[in-house]
Each structure stands twice: as C-alpha cells, then as structure tokens.
C-alpha cells in the first residue's frame, strides 16, 4: 500500500502547511504514485535523474517570441548548444534555425509534447507560449486555449516526468483592486484581461502542483520587457520598444498610451538573468514559488525625454488606444520585489538611462533621422 501511504502523507503535510506559503518553508512531497493525469499504459517514463554536475536538458515552448531566442542563447552559453531545444508553432528564421536545436511543438498537443520531453530526456522546461494582453483581448477563445489548456498540458507533463518548470507571470496578473504603488507579491489579484486571469491561474496551479505533487515549479512576474533584437508579441507595454525603432527610422513616434501612464519595465538582459538565477537557486532559498521582479518604472513622457537625449529631433504625439489604456490603468505602477532580492539575491543591472543607451548602441543610432529631415 505504498501509494495510499504516500497520498495520506502528502495530504496531511498539505493540510498542515500555510496556504499562502509566505515565509514558511515547506518540504515538497514527491508523490509519483498519484500522477495528475491518467497516463496511457504504453507511455514510457524515460526521465533520468541527473546528478548535480550534469547539465539540464532544456525545452523552451513558444520560443520564437520576444523572449525565447534570447533565453536560448543565454542557456546554450551555460549548458551547451545541444542541451537547449527551442520550440514553437512558427517557422524559425535561418539564423535561429542554424543556431541550435529547434523543434515544432504545439502546446495544445499533449502527446506530442510528452514525446518531445521523453525522447530528448528533458529535465528543465521553460513555458513561454502565450497570447499577451492586447492580442488576448482580441481573441479570447484562443487566449484561453493557449494560456490555460496549454498550461495544463505542461503542468501534467512536468509533474509526470519530474521536470523543473519555469512559467513566467506578469504585472498583468494584478488588477484595479490590487495595490498599485507599490504592488507586493501577496495581495488581491483580480485582473480584468483573459491574459491576467490565465496568469493568476498559472501561478495558483503551479503552486498547487508544487505542494500537492512536489512539482519543482518556479515563476517570476515579469514587468514589460524591452529588447532591441526581437519584436514584442502584442502587449500593452509594446510602446516602450516601438519608440526606439520609430525614433531611428522616422524621428516620429505616436504613443498609444497617455503620457503619464506609469508601468514597471525591464531590459531583456535583466529579465533573462533573473530567469536563470531563480531556476538555479537552491530550493531551500525559495520561501515562495512566485516572485515579483522589478528594475525601473516610467511613463511614456519620461521615456520620450530620455530617448530625446539621443535623438533630440524626435517628435512624440499621443493617440490613445482605449483597450490598452484601460489595461495599463489597472496594472501596477511600481513593483515590490523585496522578496526576490532577499531570498535569492535578485539585483537588476539596468536603470532607465542605461536601458536607453544600450538600446541605441544595439540598434545603431547612426542611421537615425537624418532621412526624416
């Protein structure tokens, strides 16, 4: 009766533990006898226990978006090119395809995902597939499928195959009734977008699987991410990337948020650094499984002023998009990430001036608006 014993031990530990997980260290209970999904009898469990010195074998879902290619680059530097597999449902550009392993994977296809994990002996999974806030509102059924059903597939496969699982959450997991300045890790979360609802669901399901099945779930709430070599995928914070491209190409930028809309933001290198750090943190260091991370917070007006130090000719106008503005007005203005700083030593490198000068040195400011005049 080992399964029954495991179940009752898991349940009693679960009941004894604090529901919020704040400041309480709970020993995860690995209980492989109660797999969260009924697995076909012919399924093979090739998950291998890796010793500390072995590199993880990594799969990134939704890897062709704004963040995945950069994450793959960072992880390949650390763990070796062939230990990191990028996957997506889109066709990769040549430079991505030839830079390391790429595989087609639709996260709605449970069996295919399981086959990839088994055949490649995956040990770490970064689940990046998602529809972001603005595109999610434009196609709620698809956002619900990708962000919620897709997450269920990933959670079950990760639990069955003993994976360490990273799922990013977002400032969008908060809503108008959350404290906005600053927003702490634990507070009311009643977002009003399908994106936000799906991310709160992901946080709660991941933490539930951690306490119930011992899944090694780790989650960071990212601010709006700014990158030079990848395009954002349809979010509310996209303006803060677009302004750089428009400043260089035309010298004119039309912003779809009001000039005083304050949102937390972060340069991509900081975001990817935090992601790797939390995945490498010893489990004992993590007093929670979902952390806010923060770097800076600015308004479109403040960003434009900093950009104008590099491109003084830049003209900024405002044409507010009502959907995006309503979303932004319900999101945090400043993010409290003191728990991440305390538990696993999180520290950002880029504030607004460094972010802007780094973006321009990346994008090459020499082509800037000579043509526009």
Ligand X SMILES: CC(=O)[C@H](N)C(=O)O
Ligand Y SMILES: NC(=O)C1=CN([C@@H]2O[C@H](COP(=O)(O)OP(=O)(O)OC[C@H]3O[C@@H](n4cnc5c(N)ncnc54)[C@H](O)[C@@H]3O)[C@@H](O)[C@H]2O)C=CC1
Show which residues are catalytic.
195
| Positive or negative: CA dihedral 108, 110, 116, 117 | positive
| Contact by Cβ (8 Å): 335, 293 | yes
Residue of 192, 147, 130, 189 lying closest to 324 (CA atoms): 192
The least distance separating ligand Y from the CB of residue 311, rounded to whole angstroms, comes to 23
When binding is defined by CB under 6 A, the residue of 105, 153, 170, 330 that contacts ligand X is 170
Helix (DSSP H) and strand (DSSP E) numbers for the chain: 14, 13
Q: Closest CB to ligand Y belongs to which residue?
A: 65
> Of how many residues is the chain composed?
373
Q: Which of residues 232-251 bind ligand Y (CB under 6 A)?
A: 232-233, 235, 237
For residue 22, the SS3 value is coil
| Site size toward ligand Y, by CB under 6 A | 28
178 binds ligand X, rule: CB under 6 A: no
Q: Answer with the entry of ligand Y, ligand X, none that 300 interacts with (C-beta below 5 to 8 A by kind).
A: none
When binding is defined by CB under 6 A, the residue of 36, 100, 235, 251 that contacts ligand X is 235
Q: How many CB atoms within 10 Å of residue 75? A: 25
Residue of 149, 146, 128, 6 lying closest to 58 (CA atoms): 128
Six token digits for residue 50? 């890796």
For residue 299, the SS3 value is coil
Q: How many CB atoms within 10 Å of residue 280? A: 12
Q: Which is nearer to ligand Y, 100 or 224 (CB)?
A: 224
Q: Closest CB to ligand X belongs to which residue?
A: 235
Q: Which of residues 98-137 bind ligand X (CB under 6 A)?
A: 132-133
Give the per-residue contact string, 176-205, with ligand Y (x = CB under 6 A; - = no).
------------------------------
| Contact by Cβ (8 Å): 285, 218 | no
28 binds ligand Y, rule: CB under 6 A: no
Candidates 28-36, 58-66, 255-263, 325-333: pick the segment binding ligand Y (CB under 6 A): 58-66
Element holding 220 (H helix, E strand): strand 216-222
SS3 content of the chain, % helix, strand, coil (to 5): 45, 15, 40
When binding is defined by CB under 6 A, the residue of 129, 153, 183, 292 that contacts ligand Y is 129
When binding is defined by CB under 6 A, the residue of 56, 65, 92, 136 that contacts ligand Y is 65
270 binds ligand Y, rule: CB under 6 A: no
| Contact by Cβ (8 Å): 173, 196 | yes
Exposed e or buried b per residue across 110-145, where buried means at least 16 C-beta atoms within 10 angstroms of its C-beta: bebbbebbbebebbbbbbbbbbbbbebbeeeeebbe
Which residues on neighbouring strands pair with residue 87, listed in sequence order? 103
Candidates 100-108, 249-257, 285-293, 332-340: pick the segment binding ligand Y (CB under 6 A): 100-108
Candidates 27-35, 73-81, 208-216, 231-239: pick the segment binding ligand X (CB under 6 A): 231-239
When binding is defined by CB under 6 A, the residue of 168, 191, 251, 300 that contacts ligand Y is 168
The least distance separating ligand X from the CB of residue 141, rounded to whole angstroms, comes to 18
Candidates 30-38, 138-146, 167-175, 341-349: pick the segment binding ligand X (CB under 6 A): 167-175
3-state secondary structure 127-175: ECCCCCHHHHHHCHHHHHHHHHHHHHHHHHHHHHCCCEEECCEEHHHCC
147 binds ligand X, rule: CB under 6 A: no
When binding is defined by CB under 6 A, the residue of 63, 68, 100, 224 that contacts ligand X is 224
163 binds ligand Y, rule: CB under 6 A: no
Q: Answer with the entry of ligand X, ligand Y, none that 21 interacts with (C-beta below 5 to 8 A by kind).
A: none
Q: How many CB atoms within 10 Å of residue 283? A: 13
Q: Is the peptide bond before 182 cis (omega within 30 degrees of 0)?
A: yes
Q: Which is nearer to ligand X, 215 or 274 (CB)?
A: 274
Q: Which residues bind ligand Y (CB under 6 A)?
A: 61-62, 64-68, 88-90, 106-108, 128-130, 132, 146, 150, 168, 170, 222, 224-225, 232-233, 235, 237
Q: Which residues bind ligand X (CB under 6 A)?
A: 132-133, 170-172, 195, 224, 235-237
């Amino acid at each position: 009766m080992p399964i029954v014993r495991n179940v009752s031990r898991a349940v009693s530990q679960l009941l004894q533990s604090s529901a919020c997980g704040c400041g309480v260290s709970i020993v995860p209970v690995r209980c492989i006898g109660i797999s969260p999904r009924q697995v076909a009898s012919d399924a093979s469990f090739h998950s291998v226990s890796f010793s500390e010195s072995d590199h993880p074998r990594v799969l990134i879902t939704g890897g062709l978006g704004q963040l995945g290619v950069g994450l793959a680059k960072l992880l390949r530097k650390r763990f070796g090119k062939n230990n990191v597999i990028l996957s997506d449902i889109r066709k990769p550009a040549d430079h991505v395809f030839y830079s390391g392993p790429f595989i087609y994977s639709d996260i709605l296809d449970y069996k295919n995902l399981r086959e990839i994990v088994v055949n490649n002996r995956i040990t770490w999974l970064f689940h990046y597939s998602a529809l972001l806030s603005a595109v999610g509102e434009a196609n709620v059924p698809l956002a619900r499928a990708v962000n919620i059903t897709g997450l269920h597939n990933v959670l079950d496969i990760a639990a069955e195959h003993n994976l360490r699982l990273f799922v990013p959450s977002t400032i969008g997991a908060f809503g108008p009734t959350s404290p906005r300045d600053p927003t702490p890790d634990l507070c009311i979360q009643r977002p009003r977008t399908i994106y936000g609802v799906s991310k709160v669901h992901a946080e709660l399901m991941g933490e539930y699987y951690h306490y119930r099945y011992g899944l090694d779930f780790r989650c960071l709430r990212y601010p709006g991410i700014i990158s030079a070599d990848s395009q954002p995928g349809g979010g509310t914070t996209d303006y803060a990337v677009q302004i750089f491209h428009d400043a260089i190409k035309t010298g004119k930028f039309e912003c779809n948020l009001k000039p005083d809309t304050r949102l937390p933001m972060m340069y991509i290198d900081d975001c990817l650094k935090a992601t790797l750090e939390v995945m490498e943190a010893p489990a004992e260091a993590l007093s929670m499984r979902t952390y806010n991370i923060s770097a800076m917070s600015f308004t479109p007006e403040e960003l434009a002023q900093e950009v104008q130090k590099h491109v003084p000719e830049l003209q900024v106008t405002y044409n507010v998009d009502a959907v995006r503005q309503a979303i932004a007005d319900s999101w945090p203005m400043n993010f409290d990430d003191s728990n991440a700083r305390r538990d696993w030593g999180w520290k950002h490198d880029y504030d607004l001036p460094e972010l802007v000068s780094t973006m321009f040195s990346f994008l090459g400011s020499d082509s800037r608006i000579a043509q526009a005049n």
